[in-house]
Chain A
Amino acid sequence: MLTAFAIVTDGLVYAAYLFLVAAGLSLIFGVMKILNVAHGSFYAFGAYGAATAVGIYFGRGWPDAGGFLFMIVLAMAIGMVVGLVLERGVLRLVYGRDEIVIVLVTYACFLILEDTITLIWGAQSYAAYQPMVAAGDIEIGDLILSNYDIGLVAIASLVAITAYWALNYTRWGRLLTVVIYDRETAAVFGVNVRLVYTVTFVIGAMLGALGGAMMAPKISVTLGIGVEVIVLAFAVVAIGGMGSIEGAVLGAVIVGLCRAAAVHLVPQLELFVIYAVMALVLIFRPYGLFSQAAPRKI
Chain B
Amino acid sequence: MWSRADLFGALAFIAAAALAPAMPAWLVSLATIAFANALVVLGLIILWRTGLVPFGQALFYATGAYAVALLGRYTPIRDVFVVVFAGGLCAAFVAFLVGFLLARYREIFFAMLSLAMSMILYGVLVKTEALGSTDGFHVEAGTFFGWRPHGDALDLAMYWLTLGFGAAAAGFVSLYFRTVAGALAIPVRDNEIRLEFLGISVNRLIHLELVIAATLAGIGGALAALAVEHVDPDMAYWTTSGGFVFVTILAGTASVAAAFVASFVFEMVRSIAVDILPNTWQIILGSALLLTILFLPDGLGSLFGRLAQTGKSTKKSVGEAAEKAGK
Note all chain A residues with C-beta closer than 8 A to B108. 35, 99-100, 103, 242
The answer, among A105, A268, A297, for a CB contact under 8 Å with B290, is A105
Q: A104-B293, A108-B289, A282-B113 are in contact. Are A268 and B101 (CB under 8 A)?
A: no
Given the complex, which residues of B lie within 8 Å of A272, measured CB to CB?
120, 123-124, 127
In the assembled complex, the Cα of A242 lies from the Cα of B238 at a distance in Å of 20
B3 within 8 A of A: no
Q: Is B279 an interface residue (CB 8 A)?
A: yes
A219-258: contact bitstring with B at CB < 8 Å (1 yes, 0 no)? 0000000010011001100100010000000000000000
B111 touches A103 (CB 8 A): yes
Question: C-beta contact mask, B30-55 vs A, less than 8 Å → 1, else 0?
Answer: 00000000000000000000000101
Q: How far is the CA of A100 from the CA of B191 in the complex (A)?
A: 17
Provide the bound-state CA to CA distance between A103 and B327, in Å: 20
**Residue A111 is within 8 A (CB to CB) of chain B in the complex:** yes
Residue on B nearest A232 in the bound complex, by CB: B119
Q: Is the CB of B112 within 8 A of A90?
A: no
Which chain A positions have C-beta within 8 A of B101?
Answer: 279, 283
Number of interface residues of A (CB under 8 A): 51
A101 at the interface (CB under 8 A from B): yes
- Interface residue stretch chosen among B73-81, B85-93, B159-167, B280-288: B280-288
Cβ of A269 and Cβ of B294 under 8 Å apart?
Answer: no
Closest to A273 in B: B123
Interface residues of B in 279-322 (CB under 8 A from A): 279-283, 285-287, 289-290, 293-294, 297
Asked if B287 contacts A100 (CB within 8 A), the reply is no
- Give complex CA distance A105, B120 in Å: 25
Is residue B156 within 8 Å, beta carbon to beta carbon, of the partner chain?
A: no
Query: Bound complex: CA of A230 vs CA of B107, how far in Å?
Result: 18
Q: CA A278 – CA B279 in complex, angstroms?
A: 34
Q: Which residues of B are found within 8 Å of A296, using beta-carbon distances?
A: 192-193
Answer whether residue A81 sits at the interface, using C-beta atoms and an 8 A cutoff: no
Q: Mark out the residues of chain A between 273 and 298 whose CB falls within 8 Å of any chain B CB in the assembled complex.
A: 273-276, 278-279, 282-283, 286-287, 296-298
Contact residues in B for A238 (Cβ distance below 8 Å): 109, 112-113, 116
Residues on the A chain within 8 Å of B117, using CB: 275, 279
Tell me the minimal C-beta distance from A267 to chain B in angstroms. 8
Q: How far, in whole Å, are A230 and B237 apart by their CA atoms in the complex? A: 12
Contact of A110 with B286 in the complex, beta carbons under 8 Å: yes
Do residues A271 and B293 form an inter-chain contact, with CB atoms below 8 A?
no
**Given the complex of chains A and B, what is the CA–CA distance between A94 and B327 in angstroms?**
17
Chain A residues closer than 8 Å to B120, beta-carbon distance:
272, 275-276, 279
B271: interface (CB < 8 Å): no
Cβ-based interface call for A114 (8 A): yes
Given A111-B283, A111-B285, A119-B280, 10 new contacts (CB under 8 A): A100-B53, A101-B297, A107-B289, A235-B116, A269-B123, A269-B127, A275-B119, A279-B113, A286-B104, A297-B327
Question: Are A298 and B109 neighbours in the complex by a CB distance under 8 Å?
Answer: no
Which A-chain residue is minimally distant from B279 (CB atoms)? Answer: A118
Q: Is the CB of B294 within 8 A of A271?
A: no
Tell me if B83 counts as interface (CB < 8 A to partner A): no
Residue of B nearest to A102 (CB): B293
> Which parts of A115-149 form the interface with B (CB within 8 Å)?
115-116, 118-119, 123
Contacts of A110 in B (CB 8 A): 286
Instruction: Give B contacts to A, CB under 8 Å.
Output: 53, 55, 101, 104-105, 107-109, 111-113, 115-117, 119-120, 122-124, 126-128, 191-194, 238-239, 242, 245-246, 249, 279-283, 285-287, 289-290, 293-294, 297, 324, 327
**How many Å lie between the Cα of A165 and that of B52 in the bound state?**
37
Say yes or no for A96: interface residue by CB 8 A criterion. Answer: yes
Interface secondary structure of A, over-half rule:
helix
Q: Is the pair B116, A275 in contact by a Cβ cutoff of 8 Å?
A: yes
- In whole angstroms, how far apart are the Cα atoms of A112 and B277 in the complex? 13
> A2 interface residue, CB < 8 Å from B?
no
Q: Which residue of A lies closest to B123 (CB)?
A: A271
Q: How far is the CB of B45 from chain A (nearest CB, A)?
A: 14
| CB-CB nearest 4 A-B residue pairs | A271-B123, A111-B286, A112-B286, A272-B123
Please give the distance in Å from B155's CB to the nearest CB on chain A.
30
B139, chain A: closest CB distance, angstroms = 23
B212 CB to closest chain A CB (Å) equals 20
Asked if B293 contacts A234 (CB within 8 A), the reply is: no
Expressed in whole angstroms, the Cα–Cα distance for A100 and B246 within the complex equals: 12
Closest to A93 in B: B294
**Knowing A271-B122, A287-B109, A296-B193 touch, does A115 contact B289 (C-beta < 8 A)?**
no
Q: Any chain B CB within 8 A of the CB of A64?
A: no
A270 on the B face (CB < 8 A): yes
From the candidates B113, B119, B249, name the one contacting A231 in the complex (CB within 8 A).
B119
A96 to B320, CA, bound (A): 11
Task: Report the Cα distance A273→B249, complex, angstroms.
Answer: 32
Residue of chain A at shortest CB distance from B126: A271
**Which among B107, B115, B246, B282 is the interface contact of A104 at CB below 8 angstroms?**
B246
Alpha-carbon distance A119/B249, docked complex (angstroms)? 27
- Give chain B residues whose Cβ lies under 8 Å from the Cβ of A268: 127-128
Name the A residues within 8 Å of B294 (CB-CB): 93-94
Instruction: Give chain B residues whose Cβ lies under 8 Å from the Cβ of A37.
Output: 242
The answer, yes or no, to whether A180 is at the interface (CB within 8 Å) is: no
Q: How long is the Cα–Cα vector from A119 to B109 in the complex, in angstroms?
A: 34
Interface assignment of A150: CB less than 8 Å from any CB of chain B: no
